[in-house]
Amino acid sequence: MTDITFAVLGTGGIGRRTLEVSQHTDGLVPVAACDRNGIAVDHDGLDVDELLEATEGNIAGDGRGETGSSDAATDGGVAASSGVKQTGDDAGIVASAQGEPTETPIDDVIAESDAIDAVLIALPNLEHDFIPRVADRFVEADYSGVLVDVLKRSRVIGMLDEREEAFEDAGITFVCGAGATPGFLTGTAALAAQSFVEVQEVDIWWGVGLKSGYEDNRGTVREDIAHLDGYDIETARSLSETEIEEIIDEHDGVLEFQDMEHADDVLLERAGVCDADDVTVGGVLDVRSDEKPTTTTVSVTGTTFDGETATNTFQLDDDTSMAANVNGPALGYMKAGVMRHRVGDDGVYGPTELLPRF
């Protein structure tokens, strides 16, 4: 397989860590990255170490600046740069020697996209049609290549499916839900289901310790808070950083989530494994420790051809971090998507339909 050039939209936790993981992965060349204030492009390969250093403590990268909204990146930057290089917490990519200020970061990536095999959309999806709307812009620009997202919400999958024909016409292979859950864990559920002729239940239970990764993952924590009792996407979006800290304090730093709206359900139904209603996703997030508060486990209960009812389980080691379990698969699925695209298989793929490449 020839090298894959890729771009990252967003330099929050996922964008930055994906760039970092790519440095340890054969065949991937990061050539562009953007946040809401700036863009960095080098078709020979970005200097990832420099970019990561410059975007450390980055507010511009994950949409936090506007009460968690990520529209700034799509609309061209509400808090766009004045054209002068900034430094400090809100500077983001423009603080990097490779970065240039822009008011139209996504359009600027699209302008380079002839030479980009794949684009990872690493932006929080607090407005649920946000990622589909970003994809529309690539369709409108006649981008032919791979789009990968790490979206979480079930309802977004249908919005992408509605666009399948447009993706095929443009020549886009869209790999959706390619993080940990949905993503890696959905894929393992589909494999674990192979022992059975009928699946009764899939239970995904994750544990994340996020003390040192907390700053980098504020966007994800905000998305998770939307799943707590008494909150939804809108209320979570409008929380200030102080209010989020208060919620975390009320829970002594450990947030437990039951019955999350995660797209594992519709993706497993789409794969014919079971009904979406038979899938549950929940987990525990400890933002004050790096230890996982619980072992990440996928349990698939079903009936075998010879009448046994049993539960196959798959566990992640407590020592693999969320960063490893989200960004490794995102890149593995990206590689698999590029293989599909290169043989002309465009459209929308979920994590059960592709085996991520190592």
Is position 206 an interface residue for ligand IKT (rule: CB under 6 A)?
yes
- In angstroms, what is the minimal distance from the CB of 254 to ligand IKT? 14
Among 173, 188, 312, 325, binds ligand IKT (CB under 6 A): 325
**Which of these, 30, 154, 120, lies nearest to 333 by C-alpha position?**
120
- In angstroms, what is the minimal distance from the CB of 223 to ligand IKT? 6
Among 18, 296, 327, 352, binds ligand IKT (CB under 6 A): 296
Give the residue with the Cβ less far from ligand IKT, 162 or 291: 291
Which of 85, 103, 198, 223 is catalytic? The answer is: 223
Give the residue with the Cβ less far from ligand IKT, 179 or 332: 179
**Cα 348–Cα 167–Cα 136 angle in degrees, nearest 5:** 110
Is position 213 an interface residue for ligand IKT (rule: CB under 6 A)?
no
Give the residue with the Cβ less far from ligand IKT, 77 or 207: 207
Q: Which backbone phi and psi does 200 adopt, to 5 degrees? A: -90, -35
Is position 316 an interface residue for ligand IKT (rule: CB under 6 A)?
yes
- Which residues in the 14-73 window bind ligand IKT by CB under 6 A? none
**Which of these, 2, 17, 25, lies nearest to 358 by C-alpha position?**
25
The question of whether 152 is a catalytic residue gets the answer: yes
In Å, how far are 13, 50, 213, 221, 243 from 249, measured between CA atoms?
22, 35, 17, 14, 10
The question of whether 292 is a catalytic residue gets the answer: no
What b-and-e string marks burial along 320-342, b requiring 16 or more CB atoms within 10 Å of the CB? ebbbebbbbbbbbbbbbbbbbbe
What is the separation, in whole angstroms, between the first and last Cα of the chain?
Answer: 12
The question of whether 227 is a catalytic residue gets the answer: yes
List, in order, residues 6 or more apart from 325 with CB less than 8 Å away.
180, 184, 296, 316
Catalytic residue list: 152, 223, 227
- Interface with ligand IKT by CB under 6 A: which residues? 179-181, 183, 206-208, 220, 224, 292, 296, 316, 320, 322, 325-326
